[in-house]
Amino acid sequence: MGPAGKTACLPFLFLFILISPLYAQPLHDPSPDGDFFFFEELFVSEGGLFSFYETIMDQETSPDGEAFPGEETFFDDAAFLDDETFLDDDEIFPDDDAFFFEAPTLIFEVPKFEIRSFDTVFPYFTWRQRATAMSRTGLRHSFTSDEAAVFIPDPDLGINLLGSIMKVNPSHLIEALVVVPYNERELDLLDIYNALGRIEKIKDHSVPVNGNDFYVFTESTRIESARNRRAVSDPSPANLLPFSETMYLRLKEINFGNLFIRGEISISMYGITYSMTNFTDVRYFLIPIVKAERFATIIYLEPVTEGILIYSMSGFYLPGFIADRVNLTPNINRRIQIFINWITDGLRRQES
């Protein structure tokens, strides 16, 4: 070849030398001795970091010649991978849209359970106690803080009203128990919740005193809050149960005037607990008889096979010099009966 021909070939020779390193070795060299590529390629290449990790774990060997654990060892127990071998990166991520996926719909099935019987909740009752609890009057027992309660539910069920009442350090306690039988249909927790929501109806219930109907509460309403005592109406019946709820009430009592009550509802699997606590002093002719947060009534309601179980515990503190002169137990008993009548009426309305 002449000098002119050699001169003409120089550009092609230079171009071949320039581009030949790009084809000297593939970017993803399967050989463990291949050259390392730039770190940025971990993020911009199609295979990415995951592909690089597969290559290293599948190909590298330990010093004693045995292969390091591969994908089978590391991912056998992983919930998001199956037992099949990995696919090529091009098959896993064919395009950018492959990074986005739609998760399957999660469906949670609420466990079904049968309602409990009265004997399951109160397994230690005599037949006479059981019969009285099923009657219209129900059971009632008053005692002081140094005496024992009588109506004890199964401790394994976690229905510990006495433990909650003792937090207000009461001097006197009253427990009550009655089962309201079903009439038209069996009632559930939503029926109970809606029955408890009819605060305006408390004033409509009375107790017999000397053969006459005695209305203890002349007014009953919800109020905005502990600070804002503006009356508000009861809400419409609910379609769903809340986990919990706090409300504020004003009950105008015939002897003690306005009673300001904080009501708290909590829902469990089997029942509803409704606690009422005075957040202001209870006064008699301007004299504070029961200090704020020293009176509480807790009512536990549960649908059982025999009807709606209503189990309550009330506690209040009276200083010794007042307790010696004023017997509040009959008065508290009448008010407990008012609440039971109010709840029973609300349940009957739910049946219709």
Instruction: For residues 190 and 162, state if they share a domain.
Output: yes
Instruction: For residues 131 and 92, state if they share a domain.
Output: no
Tell me the pairing of strands 287-290 and 172-180: unpaired
Does some domain include residue 160?
yes
Last residue within a domain, chosen from 107, 142, 169 = 107
Instruction: For residues 93 and 125, state if they share a domain.
Output: no
Q: Structure pTM?
A: 0.68
Alpha-carbon Rg for the chain in angstroms: 38
Residue matched to tokens 């390629």: 41
Q: Which domain covers residue 138, as residue numbers?
A: 119-351
User: How large is the average pLDDT for residues 173-192?
Assistant: 95
Instruction: For residues 156 and 294, state if they share a domain.
Output: yes
Number of domains in the chain: 2
pLDDT reported for residue 113? 62
CA dist 245 and 223 (Å) reads 14
Does some domain include residue 167?
yes
Residue range 252-311, pLDDT digits in tens: 998 889 999 999 999 999 999 999 999 999 888 888 888 999 999 999 999 999 999 999
CATH of the domain at 244: 3.30.530.20
Other CB atoms within a 10 A radius of the CB of residue 72 amount to 9
Per-residue b or e along 73-92, where b marks 16 or more CB atoms closer than 10 Å to that residue's CB? eeeeeeeeeeeeeeeebeee
Instruction: For residues 331 and 241, state if they share a domain.
Output: yes
Does some domain include residue 249?
yes
Residue range 320-336, pLDDT digits in tens: 777 777 777 888 889 99
CA dist 280 and 282 (Å) reads 7
Instruction: Please state, in angstroms and as integers, the Cα–Cα distance from residue 283 to each residue in 168, 238, 252, 254, 275, following that order.
Output: 18, 35, 12, 12, 21
Statement: residue 180 has pLDDT above 80? yes
Does some domain include residue 203?
yes
Whether residue 278 contacts residue 292, with contact meaning beta carbons closer than 8 Å, is answered with yes
Residue range 213-260, pLDDT digits in tens: 999 999 999 999 999 999 999 999 999 999 999 999 999 998 889 999
Does some domain include residue 344?
yes
Last residue within a domain, chosen from 107, 133, 153 = 107
Does some domain include residue 87?
yes
- Strand segments (E) across the chain: 139-144, 172-180, 207-209, 212-214, 217-223, 231-232, 244-253, 257-267, 272-278, 282-284, 287-290, 295-304, 307-316
Instruction: For residues 194 and 267, state if they share a domain.
Output: yes
Whether residue 157 contacts residue 123, with contact meaning beta carbons closer than 8 Å, is answered with no
Instruction: For residues 173 and 304, state if they share a domain.
Output: yes
pLDDT reported for residue 112? 53
Residue range 116-156, pLDDT digits in tens: 999 999 999 999 999 999 998 899 999 999 999 999 999 99
Q: How sure is the predictor about 2, in pLDDT bands with cuts at 50, 70 and 90?
A: low
CA dist 274 and 314 (Å) reads 12
Instruction: Please state, in angstroms and as integers, the Cα–Cα distance from residue 62 to each residue in 31, 34, 194, following that order.
Output: 16, 18, 70
Instruction: For residues 203 and 71, state if they share a domain.
Output: no
Instruction: For residues 124 and 87, state if they share a domain.
Output: no
Percent of the chain exceeding pLDDT 70 equals 68
Which sign, positive or negative, has the C-alpha torsion 125, 128, 129, 134?
positive
DSSP state of 220: E
Instruction: For residues 124 and 35, state if they share a domain.
Output: no
Instruction: For residues 147 and 96, state if they share a domain.
Output: no
Whether residue 84 contacts residue 273, with contact meaning beta carbons closer than 8 Å, is answered with no
Query: Mean pLDDT for the chain?
Result: 77
Q: How sure is the predictor about 1, in pLDDT bands with cuts at 50, 70 and 90?
A: low
Does some domain include residue 18?
no
Q: How sure is the predictor about 75, in pLDDT bands with cuts at 50, 70 and 90?
A: very low
Does some domain include residue 2?
no
Residue range 154-178, pLDDT digits in tens: 999 999 999 999 999 999 999 999 9
Statement: residue 342 has pLDDT above 50? yes
Instruction: For residues 158 and 294, state if they share a domain.
Output: yes
